A and B are shown apart, each in its own frame.
Chain A
Amino acid sequence: TVGAVAMDANGLIVAGTSTGGITGKWPGRIGDTPLLGCGNYADNTVGGVSCTGQGETIMRYNLAQRILGAIQQQGLTAQAASEQECKRMTERIGGTGGAIIIDHKGDMGISWSTPRMAWGYVRDGIIHYGINHNE
């Protein structure tokens, strides 16, 4: 799965996600990516989210919505909300996944409960990227 979230100089937030799914899925199986609020979501008043990982887990947990809810109801930062909800999803359901977020202020969140997640961003014309925890 691949995903992108962007905010432009007008303050528009857009989120996009695309995937081949999981190896060995049944023909006709649909994952979290096309389900709004699970694998992908955008609302200028809260933020934009793109998720990746075990689709069955992300769907059952509604990961994108939970992260935006933590920002809106608990007032968490994008980073704190993504860490909290990736962790809770794994505790509650057992599967793993990751998410990237840009909130309504333009702050970012990058978190995952899998061993690795490839990520990258440009804000100031400089590319930042990584794949390991605590990198």
Chain B
Amino acid sequence: MPQPVILIHGGAGDISDDLVEGKFLGIKAALRAAWEHLEPANGKSSGSALDAVEAAVRSMEQNAAFNAGYGSSLNTAGCVEMDASLMEGREMRAGCVTLLTDVMHPITVARRLMEKRRHVFLGGQAAQELALSTGSEKLPAGALVTESAREALREYLEQEAQGLENNFASSRMDDVRTDQRGD
């Protein structure tokens, strides 16, 4: 019988020292929330990887220490737009949602889409309607915005106004690679 295991991440980048403790507390809380769904209690159940993954991600979505759900990064309009996807490896069913706003748990919306077995990927207003019609609570506009996310956006816009390079999408390699004909 395979040995159950849950492995998680809380984001990658130039994470400053003052954020590390909050990340560690969130990582441990998410693992505790997930392990309950995996550990075979008295051999009765084989646990559920699906429930464990959803529980771990939900725990981090509601934690401001992570860039997902509450505490999400902001777009240039100062708004939260979220993406999520969930995939199981036996039948390879999946649910992918994008541009969700004002719901706490995009991973649960992705799971609802996967369970409906109709489509794999849904975005924008349709994803929003699926969220609300399958039990997600609609939060007041801006409820997912934190002060630190606002601060990060202010810094980004100041850098942009100064013409500083801060756009992930372009990279040094891109500059070198762009074909002179503009392809």
Tell me the nearest residue of chain B to A129, going by C-beta.
B27
Pair B168/A54 contact, Cβ less than 8 Å: yes
Q: How far is the CB of A91 from chain B (nearest CB, A)?
A: 9
Pair B49/A20 contact, Cβ less than 8 Å: no
- Interface secondary structure of B, over-half rule: mixed
Q: Is A80 an interface residue (CB 8 A)?
A: no
How many angstroms between the C-alpha atoms of A45 and B92 in the bound complex?
Answer: 10
Interface string of B77-119 (1 = CB under 8 A from A): 1011111111111101010111100000111001000000000
Pair A18/B73 contact, Cβ less than 8 Å: no
Interface string of A86-120 (1 = CB under 8 A from B): 00000011111110111000101010101111111
Measured between beta carbons, the chain B residues less than 8 angstroms from A55 are: 168
Given A23-B149, A42-B92, A115:B15 Cβ within 8 A: yes
Pair B85/A34 contact, Cβ less than 8 Å: yes
Count how many chain B residues have C-beta atoms less than 8 Å from C-beta atoms of the other chain.
92
How many angstroms between the C-alpha atoms of A47 and B173 in the bound complex?
Answer: 31
Pair B56/A23 contact, Cβ less than 8 Å: no
Q: Is B40 an interface residue (CB 8 A)?
A: yes
- Of the candidates B7, B99, B120, the one whose C-beta lies within 8 Å of that of A110 is B7
Measured between beta carbons, the chain A residues less than 8 angstroms from B73 are: 20-23, 25
How many angstroms between the C-alpha atoms of A127 and B33 in the bound complex?
Answer: 12
Measured between beta carbons, the chain B residues less than 8 angstroms from A22 are: 73, 168
Residues of chain B touching chain A, judged by Cβ–Cβ distance below 8 Å, are 1-15, 20, 23-24, 26-28, 30-32, 34-35, 38-40, 46-50, 52-54, 56-57, 60-61, 66-69, 71-77, 79-90, 92, 94, 96-99, 105-107, 110, 120-121, 123, 144, 149, 152-153, 156-157, 160, 166-169, 171-174
